[in-house]
Structure 1
Amino acid sequence: CIAFQHRKPGKGNTVMITKLKNVSDGRVLERTFQVGFKLEDVRVERRPYQYLYQDPTGYIFMNQETFEQIPIPLHQITGAEFMKEGDIVEVVTDTSDGTILSAEMPVKTVLKITHSEPGVKGNTATNATKPATLETGAVVRVPLFINEGETIQIDTRDGSYLGRVNA
């Protein structure tokens, strides 16, 4: 449950208005429940895993404690386009049956720009941006003053530029 509100209208029964996060796909849902409705608890566990490589079965991760390797399909990984070999992600599993629910990149990551057109001086009165290709192959929008070869910080949730990183 992300948020909830207990509401008693003038007429009618009391209801609970909620915002819930779907643990299997990460979507946020708004639901209204009548008094007395019971939800089933889901116990989840978060563990650090290291991204090793990609193969036909999915992305292969290694448990940092047991060194067990597991495949995780692309659709279960948030921020996968910003992931490079060796990155640590948080894998969320259902403790009742061991099912992998998701893998989450850290909110911020640091990547190098492999290709970017030179910025054109002049039109800087507005917040001008240009496309830049990162070492993972992802394309993000960066300010005109950022050049090829520089290292930048990215928000993995939406791919937005956060700032330049000094080496």
Structure 2
Amino acid sequence: MISTNDFKNGMTIEYDGQIFTILEFQHVKPGKGAAFVRSKLKNFKTGTITEKTFRAGEKVKKAHLERKQMQFLYSADDDYIFMDMEDFDQMTINKEQLGEGVKFLKENAVINVLFHEGENIGVELPTFVELTISETEPGVKGDTVSGSTKPAKLETGATVHVPLFINEGDTIKVDTRTGEYIERV
């Protein structure tokens, strides 16, 4: 059990029988009345974000997550097959559990699969991935307005907006949290 006074961003807690990640929290001491902690929590299973207010010093159960490195092998329909890097066991994870990050997942990528009490509850993709542009409009010489972007299709099928100088076949770095172009590699 941990106190709400010990909250940190990224910490995982168990509340109402579900597992949440603390996205934000704020300690509030009003002039009148007791102090409280306002927090924004993300549900691991559903991905929904809820706001919850706790009394200052209230105890909640800390969720202990086990992270296992697994390699993405292939996909079949909405199922994605991963291999444990230690014992080579294979595991199937459905598309819903992978969430939006599935569009940046390419074969042989290594990710962290999260377990709570032996049950798979989610995945952690790397923050940045390097992917190759499979299709985009060619850049036109003299078309150099700063801040202009064009859509580009990646090798995984995802579409991101890239600067005009990026061409087909270029490898770029993409932020998996926001889906934004970072830099050319």
- Same fold, TM-score > 0.5, yes or no: yes
**How do residues 1-150 of structure 1 correspond to structure 2 at under 5 angstroms?**
1=7, 2=9, 3-35=24-56, 37-56=58-77, 58-78=79-99, 79-94=101-116, 96=117, 98-150=118-170
- Judge conservation of contact 2:172–2:183 (CA < 8 Å) in 1: yes
Distance 1:5 1:133, change over 3 A: closer
Computed over aligned residues only, the root mean square deviation of the Cα atoms, in angstroms, reads 2.0
Q: Which amino acid aligns with 2:92?
A: P
Distance 1:143 1:73 in 2: 33
Distance 1:36 1:137 in 2: 47
Shift of 1:33: 1.2
The yes-or-no answer on 1:162 pairing with 2:176 is: no
Distance 2:112 2:179 in 1: 18
Structure 1: runs of 5+ lacking an equivalent: none
Q: Secondary structure at the match of 1:81?
A: helix
Q: Secondary structure at the match of 1:130?
A: strand
Shift of 1:132: 0.9
Please point out which of 148, 152, 163 is paired with 2:172: 152
Deviations, residues 46-81 of structure 1 (Å, cap 9, x unaligned) = 111000111246111111111111111112225110
* Number of equivalenced pairs: 163
2:19 counterpart residue number? none
Distance 1:145 1:117 in 2: 10
**Identity among equivalent pairs (%):** 47
Structure 2: runs of 5+ lacking an equivalent: 1-6, 10-23
TM-score, structure 1 as length reference:
0.86
2:18 counterpart residue number? none
Deviations, residues 3-58 of structure 1 (Å, cap 9, x unaligned) = 54443323223322233343334555432112564322211111110001112461
